[in-house]
């Protein structure tokens, strides 16, 4: 299975990246491949609701010239979309939110004169996140929002791995977190049931 990893953390060696590294090591062991895109390194302009993307149902069709065409193409070529992000103000980070807005219009041709297709229909989507609150209070709204986003977009929501950051004075990664990341990778590979 080919995974498109959209990394939304601004910190190259941060908590989310450390958790992701454990996930990806197991993902590869399970015989899969991935392509990672650092969203803070890309230019992702906000959607301006011009609806030009609704004119041609066969392409992304966005008039803005930035890195979103590349991201769109990479997503269309993958089986699994993995959104990796720290929680910022109970949701994802700004470049990921801008990307999600551009995709919800560019991929879903629902907003013209007639209702068209969802170009990414049937793709799997999963979340990997870290947060300062316990996940039930830090990542709950992000989870709910993305479940609804997937239903709307005809994506197949595959679940979330969320881990708690206990603060700047503590070491984020533990053996338990690494184990959860490996289990999540195996679950998404379809090779093992998730035990968490
Ligand atoms: C600007 C900012 C906003 C944050 N907002 C939240 C929040 O709403 N809820 C939460 O649980 N944690 C919040 N956090 C904590 C981060 O999600 C947490 O420290 C995370 O592990 C950081 O991941 P990183 O090292 O990949 O950047 C916030 C952190 C920052 C810097």
pLDDT, one tens digit per residue, over 30-61 is: 999 999 999 999 999 999 999 999 999 999 99
Residue 196 has pLDDT above 70, yes or no: no
165 lines ligand 1 (CB under 6 A): yes
Q: Is the beta carbon of 133 within 6 A of some atom in ligand 1?
A: yes
pLDDT, residue 193, reads: 52
Q: Where are the domains of the chain?
A: 2-188
Ligand 1 atom at shortest distance from the alpha carbon of 163: 21
- Distance between CA atoms of residues 168 and 127, nearest Å: 23
> Does residue 157 have a pLDDT over 60?
yes
**Contact 40 CB / ligand 1 (< 6 Å):** no
Q: How many CA atoms lie within 13 A of 195 on its CB side?
A: 9
Distance from the alpha carbon of residue 160 to the mean position of ligand 1, in angstroms: 16
Would you say residue 104 has pLDDT above 90? yes
What pLDDT score was predicted for residue 178? 98
Distance (Å) from CA 40 to ligand 1 centroid = 16
CA distance 11 to 38: 10
Architecture of domain 2-188: 3-Layer(aba) Sandwich (3.40)
Q: Report pLDDT for 182.
A: 98
Q: What is the DSSP letter of 166?
A: -
Using the predicted structure, report yes or no on whether residue 195 has a pLDDT greater than 70. no
pLDDT at 191 over 70: no
Is the CB–ligand 1 distance for residue 58 below 6 Å?
no
Half-sphere exposure of 159 (CA within 13 A, CB side): 15
Task: For residues 101 and 183, give the distance between their C-alpha atoms in angstroms, rounded to a whole number.
Answer: 30
> Which residue's CA is the closest to the ligand 1 atom numbered 26?
16
**Confidence (pTM):** 0.97
CA 28, CA 157: separation in Å to the nearest integer? Answer: 21
Q: What is the mean pLDDT of residues 103-117?
A: 96
CA of 29 to the centre of ligand 1 (A): 30
Helix 68-76 crosses helix 94-106 at what angle (to 10 degrees)? 70
């Amino acid at each position: 299975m080919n995974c498109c990893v959209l990394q939304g953390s601004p910190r190259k060696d941060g908590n989310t990246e450390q958790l992701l590294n454990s996930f990806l090591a197991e993902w590869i062991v399970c015989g899969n491949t991935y392509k990672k895109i650092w969203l803070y390194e890309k230019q992702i302009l906000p959607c301006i609701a011009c609806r030009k993307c609704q004119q041609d149902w066969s392409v992304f069709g966005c008039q803005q010239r930035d890195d979103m065409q590349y991201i769109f193409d990479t997503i269309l070529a993958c089986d699994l979309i993995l959104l990796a992000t720290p929680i910022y103000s109970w949701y994802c980070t700004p470049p990921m939110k801008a990307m999600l807005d551009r995709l919800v219009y560019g991929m879903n041709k629902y907003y013209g004169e007639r209702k068209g297709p969802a170009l990414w229909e049937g793709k799997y989507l999963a979340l990997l996140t870290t947060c300062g609150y316990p996940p039930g209070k830090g990542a709950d709204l992000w989870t709910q929002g993305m479940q609804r986003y997937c239903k709307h977009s005809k994506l197949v929501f595959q679940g979330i791995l969320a881990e708690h950051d206990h603060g700047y004075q503590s070491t984020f990664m533990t053996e338990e977190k690494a184990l959860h990341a490996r289990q999540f990778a195996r679950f998404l590979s379809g090779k093992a049931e998730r035990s968490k």
